[in-house]
Structure 1
Amino acid sequence: MTFLPDDLYAQIEQSMPIACVDFIPVRTTPDGTTEIGLILRDSPFGQVWCHLGGRVNRGETIVQALRRHARDTLDVDLAIEPNAQPDYVYEWFPPNIAPTDGTVYGDDPRKHAIGLSYAVELIGTPAPRNEAHDFEWFTANELPSMWPGSATLVLKLIGLESNWRFAIE
Protein backbone atom coordinates (compact mmCIF):
# COMPACT_ATOMS: atom_id res chain seq x y z
CA MET A 1 0.00 0.00 0.00
CA THR A 2 1.28 3.45 -0.88
CA PHE A 3 0.85 6.24 1.64
CA LEU A 4 0.84 9.94 0.90
CA PRO A 5 3.54 12.16 2.38
CA ASP A 6 2.31 13.85 5.58
CA ASP A 7 2.30 17.34 4.07
CA LEU A 8 0.24 16.23 1.06
CA TYR A 9 -2.24 14.34 3.25
CA ALA A 10 -2.61 17.41 5.49
CA GLN A 11 -3.42 19.48 2.39
CA ILE A 12 -6.03 16.91 1.31
CA GLU A 13 -7.61 16.90 4.80
CA GLN A 14 -7.96 20.68 4.57
CA SER A 15 -9.52 20.46 1.09
CA MET A 16 -12.11 17.68 1.14
CA PRO A 17 -14.08 15.29 3.38
CA ILE A 18 -12.38 12.03 4.34
CA ALA A 19 -14.27 8.71 4.15
CA CYS A 20 -14.13 6.97 7.54
CA VAL A 21 -15.68 4.08 9.42
CA ASP A 22 -16.86 4.48 13.01
CA PHE A 23 -18.03 1.68 15.26
CA ILE A 24 -19.02 0.82 18.77
CA PRO A 25 -18.66 -2.68 20.16
CA VAL A 26 -21.90 -3.84 21.75
CA ARG A 27 -22.80 -6.80 23.95
CA THR A 28 -25.75 -7.96 26.00
CA THR A 29 -25.12 -9.08 29.58
CA PRO A 30 -26.89 -12.14 31.03
CA ASP A 31 -29.46 -9.85 32.67
CA GLY A 32 -30.29 -8.28 29.27
CA THR A 33 -28.40 -5.00 29.74
CA THR A 34 -26.77 -3.53 26.63
CA GLU A 35 -23.16 -2.49 27.08
CA ILE A 36 -21.06 -0.32 24.79
CA GLY A 37 -17.31 -0.69 24.43
CA LEU A 38 -15.17 2.44 24.30
CA ILE A 39 -11.48 3.17 24.08
CA LEU A 40 -9.48 5.72 26.04
CA ARG A 41 -7.18 7.60 23.66
CA ASP A 42 -5.25 10.81 23.15
CA SER A 43 -7.09 13.48 21.17
CA PRO A 44 -7.04 17.19 20.42
CA PHE A 45 -9.19 17.44 23.60
CA GLY A 46 -6.72 15.57 25.81
CA GLN A 47 -7.22 11.95 26.85
CA VAL A 48 -10.86 10.99 26.19
CA TRP A 49 -13.15 7.99 25.82
CA CYS A 50 -14.55 7.46 22.34
CA HIS A 51 -15.84 5.04 19.75
CA LEU A 52 -13.43 3.27 17.40
CA GLY A 53 -12.63 3.72 13.75
CA GLY A 54 -10.69 5.72 11.24
CA ARG A 55 -10.26 6.33 7.55
CA VAL A 56 -10.93 3.88 4.74
CA ASN A 57 -7.86 3.10 2.64
CA ARG A 58 -7.87 3.04 -1.15
CA GLY A 59 -8.77 -0.45 -2.41
CA GLU A 60 -10.28 -1.44 0.93
CA THR A 61 -13.96 -2.27 1.43
CA ILE A 62 -15.84 -0.61 4.26
CA VAL A 63 -16.02 -3.89 6.19
CA GLN A 64 -12.30 -4.53 5.61
CA ALA A 65 -11.62 -1.07 7.07
CA LEU A 66 -13.79 -1.86 10.12
CA ARG A 67 -11.96 -5.13 10.68
CA ARG A 68 -8.53 -3.49 10.25
CA HIS A 69 -9.36 -0.84 12.85
CA ALA A 70 -10.71 -3.51 15.24
CA ARG A 71 -7.50 -5.56 14.86
CA ASP A 72 -5.17 -2.57 15.08
CA THR A 73 -6.88 -1.07 18.13
CA LEU A 74 -8.21 -4.06 20.12
CA ASP A 75 -6.69 -7.20 18.50
CA VAL A 76 -10.19 -8.60 17.83
CA ASP A 77 -12.38 -9.34 14.82
CA LEU A 78 -15.96 -8.22 14.24
CA ALA A 79 -19.12 -10.25 13.77
CA ILE A 80 -20.17 -8.54 10.55
CA GLU A 81 -21.31 -9.59 7.09
CA PRO A 82 -19.12 -8.68 4.08
CA ASN A 83 -21.64 -6.20 2.63
CA ALA A 84 -23.06 -4.79 5.88
CA GLN A 85 -24.61 -1.36 5.45
CA PRO A 86 -24.07 1.44 7.98
CA ASP A 87 -26.45 1.78 10.89
CA TYR A 88 -25.96 5.54 10.71
CA VAL A 89 -23.93 8.11 8.75
CA TYR A 90 -22.39 10.72 11.04
CA GLU A 91 -20.31 13.71 10.00
CA TRP A 92 -17.42 15.31 11.83
CA PHE A 93 -16.44 18.96 11.28
CA PRO A 94 -13.77 21.40 12.42
CA PRO A 95 -15.44 24.31 14.26
CA ASN A 96 -14.61 26.85 11.52
CA ILE A 97 -16.67 24.98 8.89
CA ALA A 98 -19.28 23.29 11.11
CA PRO A 99 -22.88 23.51 9.84
CA THR A 100 -25.21 26.04 11.44
CA ASP A 101 -28.47 24.67 10.01
CA GLY A 102 -29.28 22.25 12.84
CA THR A 103 -27.30 19.31 11.43
CA VAL A 104 -26.17 16.97 14.20
CA TYR A 105 -22.41 16.41 13.96
CA GLY A 106 -19.29 15.59 15.93
CA ASP A 107 -16.36 17.93 16.58
CA ASP A 108 -13.04 17.10 14.95
CA PRO A 109 -10.67 20.06 14.70
CA ARG A 110 -8.40 18.08 12.34
CA LYS A 111 -10.74 17.36 9.43
CA HIS A 112 -14.20 17.06 7.92
CA ALA A 113 -14.96 13.33 7.92
CA ILE A 114 -17.93 11.28 6.80
CA GLY A 115 -18.29 8.37 9.22
CA LEU A 116 -20.09 5.24 8.05
CA SER A 117 -21.12 4.07 11.51
CA TYR A 118 -21.89 0.62 12.92
CA ALA A 119 -22.81 -1.12 16.18
CA VAL A 120 -21.11 -4.54 16.13
CA GLU A 121 -20.28 -7.50 18.34
CA LEU A 122 -16.64 -8.37 18.90
CA ILE A 123 -15.06 -11.75 18.27
CA GLY A 124 -12.33 -12.22 20.86
CA THR A 125 -11.26 -10.47 24.03
CA PRO A 126 -10.32 -6.81 23.60
CA ALA A 127 -6.64 -6.05 24.21
CA PRO A 128 -6.09 -2.29 23.79
CA ARG A 129 -3.06 -1.28 21.75
CA ASN A 130 -1.76 1.43 19.43
CA GLU A 131 -4.08 4.46 19.89
CA ALA A 132 -6.11 2.73 22.64
CA HIS A 133 -4.72 3.23 26.14
CA ASP A 134 -7.63 1.33 27.66
CA PHE A 135 -10.93 -0.37 26.80
CA GLU A 136 -14.02 -0.65 28.98
CA TRP A 137 -17.68 -1.61 28.72
CA PHE A 138 -20.31 0.99 29.72
CA THR A 139 -24.10 1.08 29.84
CA ALA A 140 -25.90 3.93 28.06
CA ASN A 141 -26.74 5.40 31.49
CA GLU A 142 -23.10 5.37 32.60
CA LEU A 143 -21.25 6.82 29.61
CA PRO A 144 -18.04 8.61 30.62
CA SER A 145 -16.94 12.03 29.45
CA MET A 146 -16.26 11.55 25.73
CA TRP A 147 -14.83 13.12 22.57
CA PRO A 148 -17.32 15.88 21.60
CA GLY A 149 -20.02 14.26 19.46
CA SER A 150 -19.05 10.68 20.27
CA ALA A 151 -21.80 10.24 22.89
CA THR A 152 -24.39 11.47 20.39
CA LEU A 153 -23.17 8.89 17.88
CA VAL A 154 -23.25 6.10 20.48
CA LEU A 155 -26.81 6.92 21.50
CA LYS A 156 -27.96 7.05 17.87
CA LEU A 157 -26.35 3.66 17.19
CA ILE A 158 -27.85 1.88 20.18
CA GLY A 159 -31.25 3.34 19.32
CA LEU A 160 -31.08 1.23 16.14
CA GLU A 161 -30.91 -2.14 17.91
CA SER A 162 -32.66 -4.02 15.12
CA ASN A 163 -29.76 -3.13 12.80
CA TRP A 164 -26.94 -4.52 14.94
CA ARG A 165 -24.56 -6.80 13.05
CA PHE A 166 -24.36 -10.15 14.85
CA ALA A 167 -22.21 -13.20 14.22
CA ILE A 168 -22.85 -15.06 11.00
CA GLU A 169 -23.78 -18.69 11.62
Structure 2
Amino acid sequence: MIETMAGWLAPGELEQARAQMPILYVEAVPVRVDDSGEVTRIGLLLRIALDGAVSRMLVSGRVLHHERVRDALLRHLEKDLGPVALPRIPASLQPFAVAEYFPTPGITPYHDPRQHAVSLAYIVPVTGDCRPRQDALDLVWFTPQEASSPLVQQEMPGGQGVLLKQALAHVGCLS
Protein backbone atom coordinates (compact mmCIF):
# COMPACT_ATOMS: atom_id res chain seq x y z
CA MET A 1 0.00 0.00 0.00
CA ILE A 2 1.34 3.42 -0.93
CA GLU A 3 0.81 6.23 1.56
CA THR A 4 -0.93 9.21 -0.01
CA MET A 5 0.00 11.73 2.70
CA ALA A 6 2.48 14.31 1.46
CA GLY A 7 5.98 13.55 2.72
CA TRP A 8 5.61 9.76 2.72
CA LEU A 9 7.71 7.61 0.45
CA ALA A 10 6.36 4.59 -1.40
CA PRO A 11 7.64 1.33 0.17
CA GLY A 12 10.26 0.80 -2.55
CA GLU A 13 11.43 4.40 -2.28
CA LEU A 14 11.70 4.10 1.51
CA GLU A 15 13.80 0.93 1.22
CA GLN A 16 16.10 2.67 -1.27
CA ALA A 17 16.44 5.74 0.99
CA ARG A 18 17.10 3.53 4.04
CA ALA A 19 19.88 1.79 2.11
CA GLN A 20 21.58 5.07 1.17
CA MET A 21 21.20 7.57 4.02
CA PRO A 22 20.26 7.95 7.68
CA ILE A 23 16.59 8.56 8.36
CA LEU A 24 15.52 11.08 11.05
CA TYR A 25 13.22 9.82 13.82
CA VAL A 26 11.75 11.18 17.03
CA GLU A 27 11.28 9.08 20.16
CA ALA A 28 9.23 10.00 23.18
CA VAL A 29 9.19 8.63 26.71
CA PRO A 30 5.67 9.39 27.95
CA VAL A 31 5.63 10.18 31.66
CA ARG A 32 3.23 11.16 34.41
CA VAL A 33 4.51 13.79 36.82
CA ASP A 34 3.32 14.90 40.24
CA ASP A 35 2.56 18.50 41.25
CA SER A 36 6.24 19.21 41.89
CA GLY A 37 7.24 17.96 38.42
CA GLU A 38 8.80 14.67 39.57
CA VAL A 39 8.32 11.69 37.29
CA THR A 40 6.05 9.13 38.96
CA ARG A 41 5.23 6.81 36.04
CA ILE A 42 6.71 5.89 32.67
CA GLY A 43 4.47 4.66 29.87
CA LEU A 44 5.73 1.86 27.64
CA LEU A 45 3.90 0.49 24.63
CA LEU A 46 3.35 -3.23 24.26
CA ARG A 47 3.86 -4.27 20.63
CA ILE A 48 4.51 -7.26 18.46
CA ALA A 49 8.07 -6.87 17.08
CA LEU A 50 9.07 -7.65 13.49
CA ASP A 51 10.20 -11.13 14.57
CA GLY A 52 6.83 -11.84 16.24
CA ALA A 53 8.08 -11.36 19.79
CA VAL A 54 6.07 -9.28 22.23
CA SER A 55 8.13 -6.28 23.28
CA ARG A 56 7.95 -2.98 25.15
CA MET A 57 8.73 0.14 23.17
CA LEU A 58 8.88 3.90 23.34
CA VAL A 59 6.74 6.12 21.13
CA SER A 60 8.72 6.59 17.94
CA GLY A 61 8.47 7.37 14.27
CA ARG A 62 9.95 9.13 11.28
CA VAL A 63 10.03 12.85 10.68
CA LEU A 64 8.41 13.56 7.33
CA HIS A 65 9.89 15.75 4.62
CA HIS A 66 9.01 19.37 5.37
CA GLU A 67 7.67 18.51 8.85
CA ARG A 68 8.84 20.31 11.97
CA VAL A 69 10.26 18.10 14.73
CA ARG A 70 7.61 19.44 17.13
CA ASP A 71 4.86 18.40 14.70
CA ALA A 72 6.36 14.95 14.19
CA LEU A 73 6.55 14.43 17.95
CA LEU A 74 2.89 15.43 18.39
CA ARG A 75 1.81 13.26 15.45
CA HIS A 76 3.50 10.15 16.81
CA LEU A 77 2.27 10.73 20.36
CA GLU A 78 -1.30 11.04 19.08
CA LYS A 79 -0.87 8.04 16.76
CA ASP A 80 0.41 5.81 19.57
CA LEU A 81 -1.33 7.19 22.67
CA GLY A 82 -4.61 8.47 21.23
CA PRO A 83 -6.08 11.91 20.60
CA VAL A 84 -6.78 12.76 24.26
CA ALA A 85 -3.38 11.88 25.78
CA LEU A 86 -2.73 15.63 26.11
CA PRO A 87 1.06 15.63 25.73
CA ARG A 88 2.95 18.67 27.02
CA ILE A 89 5.70 19.19 24.49
CA PRO A 90 8.59 21.12 26.05
CA ALA A 91 8.97 24.76 24.99
CA SER A 92 12.61 24.01 24.13
CA LEU A 93 13.01 21.07 21.79
CA GLN A 94 16.42 20.13 23.14
CA PRO A 95 16.40 16.31 23.20
CA PHE A 96 17.73 14.49 26.27
CA ALA A 97 19.62 12.17 23.88
CA VAL A 98 20.44 11.58 20.25
CA ALA A 99 20.40 7.86 19.48
CA GLU A 100 22.12 6.51 16.38
CA TYR A 101 20.63 3.20 15.26
CA PHE A 102 22.76 1.11 12.88
CA PRO A 103 21.86 -1.98 10.87
CA THR A 104 25.14 -3.52 12.04
CA PRO A 105 24.99 -4.55 15.71
CA GLY A 106 27.65 -3.30 18.11
CA ILE A 107 28.52 0.09 16.64
CA THR A 108 26.34 1.81 19.25
CA PRO A 109 23.96 0.34 21.83
CA TYR A 110 21.15 1.00 19.33
CA HIS A 111 20.33 -1.43 16.53
CA ASP A 112 17.73 -1.38 13.75
CA PRO A 113 18.29 -4.11 11.15
CA ARG A 114 16.36 -2.09 8.54
CA GLN A 115 18.41 1.07 8.48
CA HIS A 116 20.79 3.68 9.81
CA ALA A 117 18.54 6.04 11.77
CA VAL A 118 19.21 9.09 13.91
CA SER A 119 16.63 9.64 16.62
CA LEU A 120 16.00 12.72 18.73
CA ALA A 121 14.70 11.51 22.10
CA TYR A 122 12.35 13.49 24.37
CA ILE A 123 10.68 13.03 27.74
CA VAL A 124 7.07 14.16 27.37
CA PRO A 125 4.62 14.52 30.24
CA VAL A 126 1.09 13.44 29.34
CA THR A 127 -1.93 14.41 31.41
CA GLY A 128 -4.87 12.93 29.52
CA ASP A 129 -6.35 9.52 28.93
CA CYS A 130 -3.98 7.33 26.93
CA ARG A 131 -5.53 4.70 24.70
CA PRO A 132 -3.01 3.01 22.42
CA ARG A 133 -3.84 2.97 18.74
CA GLN A 134 -2.29 1.76 15.52
CA ASP A 135 -0.03 -1.26 16.09
CA ALA A 136 0.30 -0.91 19.88
CA LEU A 137 -1.47 -3.61 21.87
CA ASP A 138 -1.41 -1.75 25.18
CA LEU A 139 0.23 1.02 27.18
CA VAL A 140 1.50 0.03 30.62
CA TRP A 141 2.55 2.56 33.26
CA PHE A 142 5.60 1.62 35.33
CA THR A 143 7.23 3.27 38.31
CA PRO A 144 10.77 4.47 37.52
CA GLN A 145 12.15 1.54 39.54
CA GLU A 146 10.04 -0.98 37.61
CA ALA A 147 10.98 0.59 34.26
CA SER A 148 14.69 0.29 35.02
CA SER A 149 14.41 -3.34 36.18
CA PRO A 150 16.23 -6.04 34.22
CA LEU A 151 12.90 -7.73 33.41
CA VAL A 152 11.48 -4.67 31.65
CA GLN A 153 14.84 -3.81 30.07
CA GLN A 154 15.15 -7.23 28.43
CA GLU A 155 11.71 -6.74 26.82
CA MET A 156 12.94 -3.62 24.98
CA PRO A 157 14.66 -4.45 21.67
CA GLY A 158 17.21 -2.53 19.67
CA GLY A 159 18.69 -0.60 22.59
CA GLN A 160 15.49 1.18 23.60
CA GLY A 161 16.09 -0.07 27.15
CA VAL A 162 19.39 1.84 27.13
CA LEU A 163 17.57 4.94 25.91
CA LEU A 164 14.95 4.53 28.64
CA LYS A 165 17.68 4.33 31.28
CA GLN A 166 19.20 7.53 29.86
CA ALA A 167 15.78 9.19 30.17
CA LEU A 168 15.43 8.03 33.77
CA ALA A 169 18.91 9.31 34.62
CA HIS A 170 18.13 12.62 32.90
CA VAL A 171 15.16 13.22 35.22
CA GLY A 172 17.00 11.99 38.33
CA CYS A 173 15.15 8.68 38.68
CA LEU A 174 18.13 6.32 38.56
CA SER A 175 20.03 5.72 41.76
1:90 maps to 99
Match of 1:148 in 2: 158
Is 1:73 the counterpart of 2:80? The answer is yes
1:31-76 residue CA offsets vs partner (Å, 9 max, x unmatched): x663211001122242210111110011211111010001111112
Q: CA deviation at 1:148?
A: 3.0
Question: How many residues get paired?
Answer: 156
Where structure 2 has 5 or more consecutive residues not aligned to the other structure, the ranges are: 1-5
Note the 1:3-152 alignment, pairs <5 A.
Answer: 3-28=8-33, 34-45=40-51, 46-75=53-82, 76-81=85-90, 83-95=92-104, 98-99=106-107, 104-143=108-147, 144=152, 145-152=155-162
What is the aligned-residue RMSD (CA, Å)? 2.0
TM-score with structure 2 length normalisation? 0.80
- Give the 3-state SS of the residue equivalent to 1:4 in structure 2: coil
Q: Distance in 1 between matches of 2:170 and 2:124?
A: 12
Change over 3 Å in CA distance of 1:33–1:71 after alignment to 2:
closer
Contact 2:23 2:117 in 1 (8 A): yes
Find the residue that maps to 1:77 and give its secondary structure: coil
Structure with bigger strand share is 1
Measured against aligned partners, the alpha-carbon deviations of 1:71-99 in whole angstroms (never above 9, x if no partner) come to 11111232014542111111111126x52
SS at match of 2:87: strand
Q: 1:77 to 1:113 in 2, by over 3 A?
A: farther
Q: Distance in 2 between matches of 1:9 and 1:156?
A: 30
- 1:137 and 1:60 map into 2 onto residues whose CA distance is 30
Identity %: 33
In 1, distance between residues paired with 2:29 and 2:39?
16
Alpha-carbon contact 1:140-1:155 (below 8 Å) kept: no
Change (3 A) 1:88 1:33: closer
Paired letter, 1:126: C
